[in-house]
Amino acid sequence: MAKTKNKLKYAVTLLSLLFLFGFSNVYSQDFNKEELSYSEFLGYVKKYHPLVKQANLEISNAQAALMLARGGFDPKIEVDYNKKEFKGTEYYSLLNSSFKIPTWYGIEIKAGFDQTDGQYYNPQNRTPEAGLTSLGINVALGQGMFINQRMADVREGKLQVKLSDAQRKLRAIEVLYKASEAYFEWRKSYNEAELYKRYLGFASTRFQGVKKLIELGDAPSIDSVEAGITVRNRELNVENGNLKLAKAKLYLSNYLWIENVPVELDDTVRPEENLIKTLEETLRTDAMMVDVEGLDSHPKIQALETKMSILEVGRQLKANSLLPKLNVGYNYISEPSYFDSFNTDDYKFNVDFSIPIFLRKERGSLKLAKLKIQDLKYDIDQQRLELKNKIKAQQTEIASLKRQKGVIDNLVKDYMTMLNSEEKLFSFGESSIFLINSRENNLVSAKLSQISIENQFYISNAELFKILANPD
């Protein structure tokens, strides 16, 4: 029996460990493949990165604020009860209850029930024995008729939701841009490291061949020194390239998350090889897809115009404060048992009126609101111009980098032809190790420039993507 329990305990422990191990590694399995494409990488960042999720909270906050503003129109039940007894005498028992429904345009519907009892109370508060019911309406005919604080809060809340969406896009695009930089740096470092490894192999093979030629007496011994120097230089390049690659991979891992778990790339994973063909489609930065003139949908412009709409609501509220306060109320009153017998002679009516004499405070506040709107209009016009010029400048840079890539591609081909030719001459005994190394170094330098220009092209497209600010 004890042995069985121990076996069960061991099995449970083993299963638990396996579960935990599997859970910790389940997310990394997605990346234990041969290639992580750029579009796939951006998809992970958009879906799982904490800063992108944080940007999405902007809308949730704005929606909560809108709910708070709409609460100003919630129906209310109010009960006020006061009672006084002293030395066996009921001085008064006063009950005032009401149900209020605030509506749009300064209209409030009110139903109430009042009941009064006792020996000492204000005669105007006297009610029938069964109490007194009322049903009426209060209307603001001056201030608060077309706009009031509750209406302004709701309008601003709706605009804030729109503003938060634009701000979400701007925050998300910043994260995606930095993530793109990390991916491009990783790809650049990977290609450089692979280049150094490949040409270290060539140099090592050549070094072994030179040593055999020296042993046969077909090459001077100094050639082994020349070839050995090249090998050691290439080894240094490989070591430095591996260091850069390791740092770039760690930096990239800052942007790789699944759910709430950070993921580190496996050493076997490589970046997208044909990124040059898919980049513009992924980022939608192709010249045919970018509308330089149509900037109304740009998040920055939308944010500024929404802010101006919010200021306009404030301006309307301040303009409304110049009107006199004129509130009119009518309430039909009746005993509960006679409520169905409408009698126009039973009612309560009130008129409240007030207005400041000079209105200096109100006029000054309105003027400031108008100036803020005018100031923001100037800012919007400037932002439109700056965005337009930034887009055009970035498109010019991308076009230039495309031409540069064409030039460097041809240059690499030419250096490759020169190297192949020099190797043929060497095989005929008409060249030297020095010339071959020189040709090969030129080729390596050209390929490094090719990698660098490609990387500049990718970053330039990412910058245009950032300027356009369309992460969705």
Joined tokens for residue 292:
């330089």
Residue 269: other Cβ atoms inside 10 A = 15
Task: Choose among 158, 155, 159, 145: nearest CA to 103.
Answer: 145
Tell whether the model's pLDDT for residue 339 goes beyond 80.
Answer: no
As given in the structure block, the two tokens for residue 111 are: 């139903």
Q: Are 114 and 82 in contact (CB under 8 A)?
A: no
Gap between the Cα atoms of 362 and 323, Å rounded: 10
- Domain 29-69+151-313+366-468: homologous superfamily in CATH: Outer membrane efflux proteins (OEP) (1.20.1600.10)
Domain boundaries, the chain: 29-69+151-313+366-468, 74-148+323-357
Over its C-alpha atoms, the chain yields an Rg (Å, rounded) of 40
SS (H, E, C) 431-453: CCHHHHHHHHHHHHHHHHHHHHH
Residue 329 is which amino acid? Answer: G
> Is the pTM of the predicted complex or chain greater than 0.75?
yes
pLDDT 10s digits, 162-199: 999 999 999 999 999 999 999 999 999 999 999 999 99
Which tokens is 93 given? 């028992």
* Three-class secondary structure of residue 377 per DSSP: helix
What span, in angstroms and rounded, lies between the C-alpha atoms of 346 and 334?
7
Cβ-in-10-Å burial (0-12, 13-18, 19+) of 207 comes to buried
- The highest-confidence range among 5-9, 180-184, 223-227, 278-282, by mean pLDDT, is 180-184
255-310: pLDDT as tens digits = 988 877 888 888 888 999 899 999 988 888 887 667 777 788 899 999 999 999 99
